[in-house]
Structure 1
């Protein structure tokens, strides 16, 4: 479904029609002529766009008219997030939902209890190794979130990782 969804969204005319459907909300009754007026497209172009968008589940037609159905986009986004290392373990850490975005760590919380929980999430998402060089660990943490250095520091500060005195090698704390 993702390929069909991306294909449907990959055309400016189809995006214009979908945008016009979304702009007025579900309460408005939309017709092909109305969408043509709103987008500046011919009725034929609107009908073609609606056929493709409908096939991807993005447009519904009922007795009140046409409406946007954005659930396929939400479903695809959720599937994409769930396929990341963080997304695969995120359900085990519901208190951290506000720190995560698109299957990545977006922010580091200020609260120490949440930081500790974030440390557990990171350790669950990291590939299991006996040790990491600083460069390897930073690269792995960058896959989880943009603040890889801050995440590395958090893991050390909260006792999830030990390191050599010079910081060149890290390993899971015992």
Structure 2
């Protein structure tokens, strides 16, 4: 899949947030903020807690705000409650599985970061496995090829491959050496 302009913008937003958080003064400001959602602290309180002078705090807050990590309301600074969530959601929606799950919101919790963790189980397992198998190419593949592709969709590609076979989703030769999506026949 070739990256689009939207992909580039989403990656740039995520990179901007990581870059801002990697700066010691921005990290010190974030670390000095109260942990309760929606809470704020004055710039003076942040300066004292972070051990920075007020000008350094102002510059750090500006960098964090521009990156979508911090919000500033008058003299109060806090974490941007949507900034990181938006950036993560944008990035996840650009993964192969995340893009497929955009149309299946009931399954997003099963692969929250565009990856299946472990082997799916529970009432949504079969539906998730169907979405996973749809990510495979239509041509016949070897077992190592299938396993490698599933490694891009989950952290246990062998377990995922076995779960797909158990669910009867891919066609497989009796010796298990060749696989193909059922809809590709």
> Structure 1 length normalisation: TM-score?
0.85
Q: Which residue of 2 aligns with 1:71?
A: 82
- Alpha-carbon shift at residue 136 of structure 1 (Å): 0.3
Length, aligned pairs only: 171
In the TM superposition, structure 1's runs of 4+ consecutive aligned residues that sit over 4 Å from their partners are none
Aligned 8 A contact 2:38 2:81 in 1: no
Shift of the 101–26 alpha-carbon distance from structure 1 to 2, 3 Å rule, reads closer
What is the aligned partner in structure 2 of residue 139 from structure 1?
A: 148
Q: Whole-Å Cα distance in 1 between the matches of residues 74 and 52 of structure 2? A: 23
* Partners of 2:29 and 2:97 in 1: CA distance: 35
Instruction: Tell me, yes or no, if the aligned pair for 1:93 and 1:121 is still in contact at 8 Å.
Output: no
- Aligned partner of 1:103 in structure 2 is 114
The RMSD of aligned alpha carbons is 2.1
CA separation of 1:149/1:27 partners in 2, compared to 1, >3 Å: closer, same or farther?
closer
1:168 is matched with which residue? 177
Q: What does 1:1-174 correspond to in 2, within 5 Å?
A: 1-23=13-35, 25-28=37-40, 30-63=41-74, 65-111=76-122, 113-126=123-136, 128-173=137-182, 174=185
Aligned with 1:47: secondary structure? helix
Q: CA deviation at 1:115?
A: 2.6
- Rg larger in 1 or in 2? 1
Deviation at 1:4, TM superposition (A): 2.9
